[in-house]
Amino acid sequence: MIAIIAVLIGLLLPAVQSAREAARRSSCQNNLKQIGLGLLTHLDVRGGSQGWFPPSIEDNQPAYSASIGSAAAADNITGLGWASHILPYVEQADLYDRLIAATTDANGARQNWQSPADAIARTPIAAFICPSDGTTGPLNTKRGNYGKSNYLANSGNGAARDSRGVMFINSKIKSNDVEDGLSKTVLVAERSTRRESGSVGRCGGVVCDWSGGIWIGGRLTAPAAWHPGVVTGDIESYGGNPNTMINGGAATWGAGWGNSSDHPGGMLTTFCDGSVIFLTDAIDQVTYLNLRWRNDRQPLGTF
């Protein structure tokens, strides 16, 4: 009798786990729909056809780097990310008002968020967290213990600080700038915080250790070539080259820039028209690259 019960449990457990993941994936999909609507509302509020998607990061000193010395990182103003800019459109208007107040000094000048808005930045926002990602809780322990985001802006497909995507530092991309079509260009994609199981690894032969993101924006860092003043990987991603494919790639560092999810076989994405599409991790490389390039004008393969 005990053996029979054990067999039945063994048969039922995968079905229960599958049903739970289906529910989590549905919730994650709804998050991305809400985010897509928020980004399209931002575009509309700023002028409709002449409006723009928010930049990945708002930064008045994007050129800070090791090559020009030790400029104060705090002078990168405001460092706020695209998710901060759509807070009023994802039912977080009060939090947005608090954030703007915290990043405005007594003289009315804007300032970098990473100090005056630290407490606000540690606020978990359910709309930016995929329920399938359960490794670090609502705060991202891999990125300063700030409020986690599993959704990263598409900055392009080539390299860090690319501008082929839709949201990158100080961008103001209009819908007309997405020449390949809003329904054919990725706007936001997932990144988990999980560490890949096993010992072979899909990141250049080593185990992928995905670091997720944070919703507030880019953290301050010492001037350096890859992170001039702010950590762009906190809020944006790129992909489509061999180094940064879905759930892995050819580079050992790819997990810090690429995209992934805890949904088996691929990840969810929001396109520029607001649609949510699941892209498999078996997607053709060129197709994935073209989906992240807003104006490459190349025919797309199946996705």
Confidence tier at 185 by pLDDT (50, 70, 90): very high
Instruction: Decide if pLDDT at 103 tops 60.
Output: yes
Tell me: pLDDT of 225 over 90: no
What pTM does this model have? 0.89
Which comes out higher in pLDDT, residue 213 or 24?
213
What pLDDT shows up at residue 223? Answer: 59
* Torsion angle of the four alpha carbons 164, 169, 172, 176, in this order, in degrees rounded to the nearest 10: 10
d(Cα 86, Cα 269) in Å, to the nearest integer?
17
Residue 205 predicted with pLDDT over 70: yes
pLDDT at residue number 170: 94
CB 259 within 8 A of CB 239: yes
pLDDT, greater one: 41 or 16: 41
Range of lowest pLDDT (49-63, 220-234, 254-268): 220-234
User: Which of 135-139, 187-191, 286-290 shows the lowest mean pLDDT across its residues?
Assistant: 135-139
Please say if the pLDDT value at position 94 is more than 90.
yes
Q: What angle do CA 136, 137, 140 make, to 5 degrees?
A: 55
Among 46-50, 113-117, 191-195, where is mean pLDDT lowest? 46-50
Give the confidence band of 224 by pLDDT, cuts at 50, 70, 90.
Answer: low
Task: Say what the pLDDT of residue 14 is.
Answer: 53
CA-to-CA dists, residue 75 to 60, 70, 114, 201, angstroms: 8, 11, 11, 39
Per-residue confidence (pLDDT) for residue 183, from 0 to 100: 96
Q: Decide if pLDDT at 63 tops 50.
A: yes
Alpha carbon separation from 186 to 100, 244, 294 (Å, rounded)? 28, 15, 8
Average pLDDT rounded to a whole number, residues 14-18: 50
Instruction: Name the band, by pLDDT with cuts 50, 70 and 90, for residue 144.
Output: very high
Q: What is the CA radius of gyration of the chain?
A: 20
